[in-house]
Chains A and B, each alone.
Chain A
Amino acid sequence: MIPTLSSLIATITPANALSNILQIANGLGLSTTSWGPFGVVMTMLETMAQVVSQQSVDVSLIAQGGYVTTAAAMTDSNGNPITTWLDLVAGEMFNVTRQQAVAASGLVAISNTSTTPRGPFAVGTVHIQHPRTGATYSNSVAGEQMYGSAIAGTPFYSTMHFAADAAYTGSAGNMVAGVMPVLTTPYPGCSCVALGTHGSSSALVGTDAATNDAVLAACQAKLGAIAPNGAPGALVSVATTPAIVAAYGTVSAIITRARKSLNTSNGAVYLYIANANGPALSSDAAIVQLAEQALAVPTGMSLTVQPALTQLILVQAYIYCDGTPNNFATLAANAVEAYFASLPIGGTNLVVTGVVPISGILAAIQNALTSSVTGINLGSPLVNVTMSSPYVVPVLDPASFFVVTQVPVPT
């Protein structure tokens, strides 16, 4: 009889393994009750039971690793996702490679009101910091300078390339337009100006490593790309596969989300795209459009790729903790931003329009904080946030912030 998958996935505890061995030995007529707990025989059997238990874990992983669906759900004994099996199955069976974390990078404008030029700088010698998240960045292109002003006191603007430092790789290094970074490598008269002005990038966007769920979705969408007839999965697969998009141009940030829409009043088909920071840039949409037209749009059909829309969500969390105040507000804000970055366009539980569930927001905050937190209350939102349309991505409202109440717990 073929054993069930659930029995193959179930692991054997050392106690169960020992019990089975003793039962067999007993059945063979051996006097197992005479074996003392610390005797040679019992010690040998207990050792064997440990090995059997460990090997049953291997059997379980082999069984789970056979399917991309179960491989995506595999966790280790601490509950952390196991990525190796899924990477193997996804790569070998679907030619899908997990997106690795990418550091946020781009141009930052620096004002110099002194007549003294600074630089040229070697890579990694100038540092800036996000004033809210605390993420740090270093200059990434050698030879750039902060040019001096012709008239003392009148700012002269130079742009320099910066990339998030290793500790902030991924969406933790995101910086949106309007944020004014702090120049932590001080030069008199020099300071950063708001992102999106004076020739700087509109945003610095990092991308987190793809989760197992994202890899699974990519594998399933890839099936649609087999056919040349414009299956919905093909559109998503092309837009969210960086290697494919890169062949048609350089996008400012990796496209992590895509959603198709068909306008029933005129038959026009749209593909909305977003990156880890929110809606993609229009220039990125133009590049994705080229890739889609070449690879996924059947002859004679027309597709319009455009950035997803934005829905700002006000989040206020009351975090109760003992001990000394910590950087919980920053950690929680970053965690919620990362959670929003992982949500599909239109939110979850999509029927007509989806939602951003408050359970997800709470879980993101809880997972980011340490054990000294004694409670978390959401002041906003109080209920699941309904997305205003299926084509929006949730973005943390930068005007709102976490209200953190540090309440010492009586001892």
Chain B
Amino acid sequence: MSLRDLVYTISPSWLRATVGSRLMYAMTIPFDALEDLAAYAVRARFPDLAPTDAWPYIERDRQIMRGTWELAPAWLARCRQWLDRWAHAGSPWGLLMGARACLSPYLCPVSLVTSIGTWDGYLLSQQDGPTVEPIHSTTAANWNWDEYSWPWINQNGAWNRAWLIIWPVGTPWTQSTQTWGDGSTWDAGELWDIAGGTAAQFTQLLAAVTLWKSAFTWIPAVIITWNGTDFGNAGQGAQPDGHYGTWSKIVPGIYGRPTRVASRYAGAAYLAGVT
């Protein structure tokens, strides 16, 4: 029963007459409104009942950041799963889910490979989630990022490294066709190697990696590649050859003269990693 109905019910007959009842109505209706607002204020903390301008607060409270393209129902579902998802923080599982959220709703293939050749990943169109474990495989010593670029790093046992590989199938991210000296304007807001994306999207991706990775893991690079057969977990396609620690390497050129060439496969983009 609303307050205005209650007041009418308990009012003496002289207050139920024309003027009295209208006056009481005008006086009590603000309190009915306040009661409704209080109920909404309580509900506003629950993701599914919250007004949209409350979402940023829920996002920060639960540390479940909404991806650039992520649809509201998917993000709301993740918000309900926040504790289940946080239970995986620091593991490859948690990191892959965090990266996948930045790509949602596109269910792109993603993999995480460690320096000792353990692989975890989700396949194209495979749903991820706190109860859907990524596919795990081990192919020892099939990943050689920088053995020749930084031999001392490898010798010092930087075994706690992992690389995130994303095949952005279906996303607006495409490989840039621009080349150095093609007449483009410097600092015009475009990204090197990637078209269709914004710097903010990749900042968000790296922030997600930082948030969800283990404190003990160093991600030297995030690889975005457009050829589905490259960087395969069985060693198929393009693979790092131990010179990927730097952007260029020296190889024998004409007449055996040392020549500097790009060290990394040009069919992919490489985001600077995070510690």
Contacts and interface: CB of A to CB of B under 8 A. Distances in A.
Given A30-B22, A66-B42, A267-B218, A52 B31 contact: yes
B191 interface: no
Contacts of A371: none
**Counting chain B CB atoms within 10 Å of each CB, which of A59, A269, A301 scores highest?**
A59
Contact of A266 (B27, B57, B158): B158
A277 B134 CA distance: 46
B206 to A, nearest CB: 13
Contact of B51 (A3, A52, A59, A219): A3
Interface of chain B, helix or strand or loop or mixed? helix
Contacts of A228: 90
A175 B122 CA distance: 56
Interface of chain A, helix or strand or loop or mixed? helix
Contact of B44 (A5, A220, A265, A298): A5
A383 interface: no
Contact of B153 (A20, A41, A265): A265
Contacts, number: 170
Interface stretch (A115-123, A229-237, A278-286, A341-349): A229-237
B152 A28 contact: no
A105 B19 CA distance: 71
Contact of A267 (B27, B82, B160): B160
B216 A224 contact: no
A227 B88 contact: yes
B86 A224 contact: yes
Contacts of A266: 153, 156-158
B215 A55 contact: no
Size category, A interface: 35 or more
A264 B41 contact: no
A340 B137 CA distance: 49
Interface string B152-174: 11001111110000000000000
Given A229-B88, A267-B159, A30 B23 contact: yes
Given A24-B25, A67-B54, A229-B89, A62 B215 contact: no
Contacts of B178: none
Contacts of A298: 90, 214, 216
A265 B152 contact: yes
Contact of B212 (A231, A260, A267): A231
B34 A52 contact: yes
Contacts of B140: none
B218 A262 contact: yes
A301 B90 CA distance: 12
Contacts of A179: none
Interface in A211-235: 219-220, 223-224, 226-235
Given A28-B22, A55-B31, A66 B37 contact: no
B45 interface: yes
A227 B53 contact: no
Interface of A: 2-6, 8, 17, 20-22, 24-25, 28-30, 41, 44-45, 48, 52, 55-56, 58-60, 62-63, 66-70, 219-220, 223-224, 226-235, 260-262, 264-267, 269, 297-298, 301, 303
20 contacts: A2-B40, A4-B52, A8-B40, A8-B51, A20-B30, A24-B29, A30-B19, A55-B34, A67-B45, A69-B60, A224-B86, A224-B89, A231-B90, A231-B212, A234-B215, A262-B275, A264-B153, A267-B158, A301-B216, A303-B215
What 6 A-B pairs come out closest when comparing CB atoms?
A229-B90, A66-B45, A63-B41, A231-B89, A25-B26, A267-B158
Given A6-B53, A8-B40, A223-B89, 12 more contacts: A8-B51, A30-B26, A62-B42, A68-B61, A229-B88, A229-B214, A230-B90, A231-B212, A233-B89, A266-B158, A267-B160, A298-B90
